[in-house]
Amino acid sequence: MTKATIYHNPRCSKSRQTLALLEENNCEVTIVEYLKVAPSSSDIKKLLELLNFAPREMMRTKEDEYKAQNLSDVNKTSEDLVNAMVETPKLIERPIVLANGKAVIGRPPENVLDII
């Protein structure tokens, strides 16, 4: 049985669909409700490494908070962007799934099939 971790927002339809797909494929799923318990800076850096993403690639750039914090500013460092995700976890793209030492964003949910 594959063990998977999902950074999950139960109010998000894609997140719910991704969780259902993991369960349909008999994965043992650990659910991290990242809006309730924000990931640490080191957690976010690990996710970025596994996704092979720059910080902005893991951010919801259309959120009001992204604009309000002026995060599109090219002078913002990777550390600035990681700190913004720690302070405002709503900025983190969802859902993120970890399995078998790999990570994907479940948009579309079928992306998870590549790592389980």
Helix (H, G, I), strand (E, B) or coil at 81: helix
DSSP 37-56: SPPPHHHHHHHHHHHT--GG
Say if CB 95 and CB 10 are below 8 A apart. Answer: no
Alpha-carbon distance of 116 to 110, in angstroms, equals 11
Say if CB 71 and CB 59 are below 8 A apart. Answer: yes
Q: Which helix (H) or strand (E) holds 20?
A: helix 13-24
Tokens of 30: 């650990």
Q: Which of 2, 5, 12, 83 is catalytic?
A: 12
27 is catalytic: no
Active site residues: 12
